């Protein structure tokens, strides 16, 4: 480890999120950055990964050229079998999701509100809308975490008082792993848990679109170089 960087890269955000996943947890990782969380499971812990298209307990990506296109995840990327993998159809898969059987779902976000509202499926009426399993995943998982840059590419806050983009779900997000901080969403408030050591609370607040509340000490957000 070296000096804390200005902001975490996606691998580092994924690493941080992975530290909170308990041994034996059932986890669904959203398409994109959240998929990287699987790579950073701490030694000695065995999480079981669920994918919407009907696999529980799949393994890592196969070597190039070894893909079997009947063995893919929700992002249509090839995965592998592990001892104890199970296959099932889509209705059973979403019974797992909607029925509250997942421990953690980790998703990307366009905006997260202090109310826990999430917007991550549509940037508005332009373009082709696509929702996939996001609206199902935000209901049912015991923890719905978001993995996201703290601000947009234009530097605007992604953590806001109220979402302006079309919602994925209402009052559903419980924790945010951002590129600058770890924040719980609780009782309609953002509660700061960890922040980069090189970043003052005032600077972090300035990059956040709603008030950051404190509830006990704020730890340094420390991650390895990745």
- Under the rule (CB under 8 A), what is the footprint of other proteins? 23-24, 26, 46, 48, 50-57, 67-72, 76, 81-102, 117, 122, 128-136, 139-140, 166-170
Structure tokens at 23: 């041994």
Edge-to-edge strand ranges of the sheet holding 159-160? 118-119, 111-113, 159-160
Q: Compare residues 104 and 180 and give the one whose CB is closer to other proteins.
A: 104
| Residue 112 bridge partners (DSSP) | 118, 159
Structure tokens at 48: 């079981």
DSSP E strands: which ranges in 118-222? 118-119, 143-148, 159-160, 175-178, 181-186, 189-195, 212-220
Q: Shortest distance, CB of residue 78 to other proteins, whole angstroms?
A: 9
Q: Which of 35, 52, 111, 194 is catalytic?
A: 52
Q: Shortest distance, CB of residue 121 to other proteins, whole angstroms?
A: 8
Q: Shortest distance, CB of residue 82 to other proteins, whole angstroms?
A: 8
Query: Which segments of the chain does DSSP mark as H helices, in order?
Result: 10-19, 90-98, 134-137, 201-206
First CA to last CA distance, the chain: 9
Q: Compare residues 139 and 189 and give the one whose CB is closer to other proteins.
A: 139
111 assigned to active site: no
Q: Shortest distance, CB of residue 33 to other proteins, whole angstroms?
A: 17
Query: How far is it, in rounded angstroms, from Cα 55 to Cα 82?
Result: 11
User: Annotated active-site positions, please?
Assistant: 52
């Amino acid at each position: 480890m070296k000096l804390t960087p200005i902001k975490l890269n996606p691998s580092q955000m994924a690493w941080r999120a992975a530290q909170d996943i308990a041994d034996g947890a059932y986890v669904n990782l959203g398409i994109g950055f959240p998929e990287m969380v699987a790579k950073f499971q701490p030694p000695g812990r065995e999480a079981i990964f669920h994918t919407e298209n009907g696999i529980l307990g799949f393994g890592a990506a196969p070597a190039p050229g070894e893909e079997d296109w009947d063995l893919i995840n929700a992002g249509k990327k090839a995965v592998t079998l592990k001892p104890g993998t199970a296959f099932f159809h889509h209705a059973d898969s979403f019974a797992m999701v909607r029925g509250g059987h997942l421990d953690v779902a980790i998703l990307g976000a366009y905006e997260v509100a202090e109310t826990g509202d999430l917007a991550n499926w549509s940037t508005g009426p332009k373009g082709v809308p696509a929702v996939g399993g996001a609206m199902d995943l935000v209901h049912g998982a015991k923890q719905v975490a978001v993995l996201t840059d703290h601000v947009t590419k234009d530097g605007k806050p992604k953590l806001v008082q109220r979402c302006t983009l079309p919602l994925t779900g209402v009052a559903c997000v419980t924790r945010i792993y951002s590129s600058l901080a770890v924040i719980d969403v609780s009782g309609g408030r953002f509660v700061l848990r960890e922040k980069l050591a090189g970043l003052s609370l005032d600077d972090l607040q300035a990059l956040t679109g709603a008030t950051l509340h404190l509830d006990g000490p704020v730890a340094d957000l420390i991650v390895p170089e990745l």
